[in-house]
Structure 1
Amino acid sequence: MPELNSDQLRTLLAVIDEGTFDAAAAKLHITPSAVSQRIKALEQAAGAVLVRRSTPIHATEAGLVVLRHARKLALLDLDLTRELSAAGRQGGALSVPIAVNTDSLDTWFPDALTALVPRDDIVFDLRREDQEHTLELLRSGEVAAAVTSIAEPVQGAVSIPLGSMRYRAVCSPAYAEAQLGGVAHIRRIADAPYVDFDRKDQLQHRLYHAVVGGEGRAPRHYAPTTTAFTRAIFGGLGWGLLPDQQCADALASGELVRLGGARTVRVPLYWQRWAIASSVLDDVTDAVRAAARESLVR
């Protein structure tokens, strides 16, 4: 087991999080040369190349192993710092990286973070990713926790059920008139265009496949921001699935209509975090579970 220097581990975190040696140096208040020397020394101690000198810098496979170790130590160090602060010592803020799916990030998840205000010992680094892919960031060590649709915990993590996001198939009245023959019903979508968030978003495609019974031939738009996605649906570019939180008012006012015959789609969400004794992760976990109880369905 190699002995890894704590300053060198903190430097690895800074290099990966900031993306360049210069930015890491600014964050750590040392020179870029010192950053380079620490990384080289850490690689010598680990007996492997840990980072790819690209732009931005990425961890190698061996580097991801060390990165996971470094993040866990940083959380444990923060717990110690908080305890020592009560005795008169002060510590800096720790960055807590979390992977969150887009719809959670744009609806209920920020409530979990604001519930932790005020505290100055942590800052959040939120990584936006599809709910089926957030675990890749946890597995690699890039984040300490993730909101995911996968229940099975990754190695070294625990999985906590949060509830489900409920989606409804909707379109604009003008779209129903122009594309569905004036009848907003799911059975009429075979040739009708629809909107996906990006190429990782499979919600609309799965519903389309279930209804049409094959790959189909409908035009498929991509709108990879929440604003673009919702405006595309509201503006009549295509039909799509929106969470209750984003479409309830528009359905009530008639600005959107539901596609008749389409069942609601529920996506179960889980909170996966490293299984370490960290009061910081415990506090964040409690806040996330509380926010989920207010917004997600059981």
Structure 2
Amino acid sequence: MKAFQLEQLRTFAAVVEEGTLEAAARSLYVTPSAISQRLKAMEDAAGQILLQRTSPVRPTTAGEAVLRFALQVRQLEWDARQELGGGQSAPSAPIPLVVNADSLSTWFLPALAGLPADLGVCFEIRREDEQHSTRQLRTGAVMAAVTATPEPVPGCSVEPLGSLRYRAVASLAYVRRWWPGGPQLVAGSQSPVVDFDRKDDLQTGFFRSLTGTDLAAPRHYVPSSAEFAQAIRLGLGWGLLPEQECLADLRSGDLVELAAEDPVDVSLYWQRWKIDSPVLNQLTAAVRAAASRQLRQPGA
């Protein structure tokens, strides 16, 4: 296989990130024809199709490997320019990360805010359930992830961050309506529940651990952390909230804990590409520090 040229790698990354050849052409200040020619040359060199011409375009399995390579080269190139004093004239492309919604709403953003202001980087944060986020690492779409997967994705390092503790809660009005005698999560319960989305199995797993049966109650789906918590506070259903988002309401009595002796701890891990990038190293240190303050650590 012939070696890819630097310009070809930049083009490939731009096409995947922008979604269309036309948008990539605008971002690179070239014509769509030039983009098409570069992609064809890459596929000729690779001897296989690298992009699915869908809308938006998507890398093939072979293209995922090329995308990882292209983003790694881009990051290392930027790191080198920074070390050579070219930071002011060479702004960084946003560093793509994938983070679960509850980490975003509780502890992760302060980690980014703790980075030095003169670091000169931006981030593209993609939201994905912690059980499914490694898929984006495997495809090369992101450089790092907060995930529940302890096994490292090929080409990545992994370290434990701690556990995000969840508590099963409902509003006081909800409890009075559905369980006049007090909270009763029992087999066959038809009291409505709130799920984040159809991938969210946290409530189902919690119910099964308590009752030994599947949860078959009516469900609301509210795919936003703030609105998910609000739906519970408004009495639409019961659900599990990170304790950072519910302890104040539990103390005030606005929320009622349904099983105080059975919190749910979800272990989180930080996976990142194994490249020697000063930016990724500083990001990792900031994430590690924020997690040590905000997540439950072993023995705590």
Q: How far is the alpha carbon of 1:38 from its aligned partner?
A: 1.4
Q: Which residue of 1 aligns with 2:35?
A: 35
| Matched residue, 2:49 | 49
Q: Which amino acid in structure 2 is aligned with residue 264 of structure 1?
A: P
User: What's the offset of the Cα at 1:188?
Assistant: 8.0
2:126 corresponds in structure 1 to 127
Tell me how far 1:182 sits from its aligned partner: 3.9
Give, in whole Å, the separation in 1 of the partners of 2:231 and 2:261.
20
Aligned to 1:249: 248
**Distance in 2 of aligned mates of 1:196 and 1:89:** 45
Cα distance in 1 for residues equivalent to 2:45 and 2:119: 33
Query: Secondary structure of the equivalent of 1:267?
Result: strand
1:10 equivalent to 2:18? Answer: no
Structure 1: segments with no counterpart, 5+ residues: none
Q: For residues 60-75 of structure 1, what are the structure 2 equivalents within 5 Å?
A: 60-75=60-75
Given that 1:195 and 1:221 are in contact with CA atoms closer than 8 Å, whether structure 2 keeps it comes out as yes
1:276 CA displacement: 1.4
SS in structure 2 at match of 1:85: coil
The aligned counterpart of 2:270 is 271
Residue 83 of structure 1: aligned partner? 83
Q: Distance in 2 between matches of 1:77 and 1:102?
A: 31
Mapped contact 2:97–2:145 kept (Cα < 8 A): yes
Question: Measured at CA, do residues 189 and 78 of structure 1 come closer, stay the same or move farther in structure 2, by a change above 3 Å?
Answer: farther
Q: Please tell me the root mean square deviation across aligned C-alpha atoms, in Å.
A: 1.7
Structure 1 position 19, deviation (Å): 0.9
Q: 1:189–1:282: structure 2 CA closer, same or farther, 3 Å change rule?
A: farther
TM-score, normalized by length of structure 2? 0.94
* 2:290 match: 291
Using the alignment, how far apart are the partners of 1:182 and 1:72 within structure 2? 59
- How much has 1:220 moved relative to structure 2? 2.0
Letter in 1 for 2:33: S
* CA positional deviation for 1:120: 5.7
**Structure 1 residue 231: Cα displacement:** 1.7
Who is 1:181 aligned against? 180
Is 1:236 the counterpart of 2:231? The answer is: no
CA distance in 2: counterparts of 1:267 and 1:149, whole angstroms: 7
Deviation digits for residues 196-241 of structure 1 (CA, Å, limit 9, x no counterpart): 1011111100011122222243212211112331121111111100
For 1:73 and 1:79, the matched residues in 2 are separated by 10
Q: Report matched runs for 1:109-258 at 5 Å.
A: 109-119=108-118, 121-187=120-186, 190-258=189-257
- Secondary structure at the aligned position of 1:183 is classed as coil
Contact 1:169 1:262 in 2 (8 A): no
Q: Is the 8 A contact 2:204 2:215 kept in 1?
A: no
Report the CA distance shift for 1:133/1:120 in structure 2 as closer, same or farther (over 3 A): same
Residue aligned with 1:217, SS: coil
Could you tell me whether the CA contact under 8 Å between 1:193 and 1:237 is conserved in 2? yes
Give 1:44's aligned amino acid: D
Q: Show CA shifts across 1:81-112 (max 9, x none).
A: 111216x9832322210010010011111111
Residue deviations 1:218-266 (CA, integer Å, cap 9, x gap): 2122111123311211111111000011111111111111114551100
C-alpha distance in 1 between matches for 2:136 and 2:39 = 22
From the superposition, tell whether residues 141 and 259 of structure 1 become closer, same or farther in structure 2 (CA, over 3 Å). Answer: same
Q: State the Cα distance separating 1:41 from its structure 2 match.
A: 1.4
Segments of 4+ moved more than 4 angstroms: none
- How far apart, CA to CA, are the structure 2 residues paired with 1:216 and 1:267? 20
Q: Return 209-218 or 228-237, whichever deviates more.
A: 209-218
* Cα pair distance change 1:155/1:98, threshold 3 Å: same
Which segment is superposed worse, 205-214 or 235-244?
A: 205-214
What is the letter of the counterpart of residue 98 of structure 2?
Answer: A
Count of equivalent residues: 297
Identity %: 47
